[in-house]
Amino acid sequence: MSEAKFKSSFFLGCIMPNRYPGIEKATIMTSKNLGLELVELKGAGCCPAPGAFGSMDILTWEALAARNVCLSEQMGLDCSVVCNGCYKSLFDVNRRLKENPAEKEQVNKLLKLANMEYKGSIEVRHVAEQLYNDIGLKKIRDSVVQPLNGIRVGVHYGCHLLRPGRDRSFNKQEFTTERPTFLDEMVEVLGAKSIDYKDKMMCCGAGGGVRGYKKDFALDMTNEKCKNMQEVGVDCVVDVCPFCHLQFDVGQVEIAEKWGHKYNIPVLHYGQLLGLAQGMSPDEVGLEAHQIKVDTLLDKIV
């Protein structure tokens, strides 16, 4: 199964490689096991953050995002991300520049300063949807060597992979914005159980620069999500975005300090959950970087 049928460049972004490198390791290894080779993308930078950065100047946001896309174009490969924020920047800008020649020309004027030119020759993908749409549930299920023993998972889709639906092109029932199911299905084929909870599609609170500007507002949203998950009883929350990941992981510590609510819900990126199911050790998927300890969860699996 190790022969790569699919290949794309791996855009890392900021928070994964610089805070939670276990997600990076797990994503590379698990994708390889499933026939998706993720190739090093040299010289990429911040996507840049759609809310925190795009809020200052859309054109600068577009040009820097296009620079990242160009690097992948130069390799002749589609570009894969594992962060919803990165997806918003790279996917949206790629689509906008392909559809709008005037915008493309404007961005290319800026890219010329970096000796680059955006062509519009590749697609931007999120690894989670690539695994679902290209590899398929059956192969994911077949790759499991350590079934997850029915652990109860609170799935957190995050925002920018799916919303706004009119600017996305999945065209599948499993990817609808109000009640998507693809990630729940991907969790369940690993032997875990996805548990419904109130306001499941709600934002983690961190985006749009709010975590940096008004942290209490961001944490209040995270608190509400954690409370809703705690009410139905989950063993962990599973995300597909390192920024949501950080907001749940670091955020729970901050919530405990500020307001005294202690949830202690372990936080895993889907790549890490898949890694555990494929037999990677907790150390190999980098769980030691997590603020919320995952021991109780691991006891249930192993």
Partner 1 sequence: MALESQVLNLNKGLVNFTHEVEKGGGENVSVCYQCGTCTGGCPMGRRNALRTRRIMRMVALGLKDELLKSDEIWYCSTCYTCTDRCPRHVKPTDVIIALRNMATRQLMAPKNFLQNATFIYQTGHAVPINDATKKLRVKLGLTENPPTTHSYPEFLPGIQKILEGTGLMAIKAQMDAKEVKK
Which residues contact partner 1 (rule: CB under 8 A)?
A: 12, 14-15, 17-19, 21-22, 24-25, 40-46, 48-60, 63-64, 67, 110-111, 113-116, 159-160, 163-166, 177, 199, 201-203, 205-210, 212-214, 217-218, 220-221, 224, 283-284, 286, 288-289
Nearer to partner 1, 35 or 208 (CB): 208
Q: Write down the least CB distance from residue 19 to partner 1, Å.
A: 6
Nearer to partner 1, 4 or 217 (CB): 217
Nearer to partner 1, 54 or 266 (CB): 54
Q: Write down the least CB distance from residue 49 to partner 1, Å.
A: 5
Q: Write down the least CB distance from residue 227 to partner 1, Å.
A: 13
Nearer to partner 1, 214 or 262 (CB): 214
186: tokens are: 């991907």
Nearer to partner 1, 189 or 237 (CB): 237
Strands 36-40 and 236-239: unpaired
Q: Write down the least CB distance from residue 188 to partner 1, Å.
A: 25
Q: Write down the least CB distance from residue 14 to partner 1, Å.
A: 4
String of DSSP letters for the chain: --S-SEEEEE---SHHHHH-HHHHHHHHHHHHHTTEEEEE-TT------TTTTTTT-HHHHHHHHHHHHHHHHHHT--EEES-HHHHHHHHHHHHHHHH-HHHHHHHHHHHGGGT--------EEEHHHHIIIII-HHHHHHT-SS--TT-EEEE---STTT-SGGG----SGGG-SSS--HHHHHHHTTT-EEPP-TTTT---S-TTTHHHH-HHHHHHHHHHHHHHHHHH--SEEEES-HHHHHHHHHHHHHHHHHH-------EEEHHHHHHHHTT--TTTTTGGG-SS--HHHHHHH-
Q: Write down the least CB distance from residue 163 to partner 1, Å.
A: 4
Q: Write down the least CB distance from residue 184 to partner 1, Å.
A: 19
Please give the torsion angle defined by the CA atoms of residues 44, 17, 273 and 285, in that order, rounded to the nearest 10 degrees: 130
Q: What are phi and psi of 115, to 5 degrees?
A: 55, 40
d(CA 112, CA 116): 5
Nearer to partner 1, 196 or 199 (CB): 199
Nearer to partner 1, 189 or 203 (CB): 203
Q: Write down the least CB distance from residue 141 to partner 1, Å.
A: 26
Nearer to partner 1, 137 or 298 (CB): 298
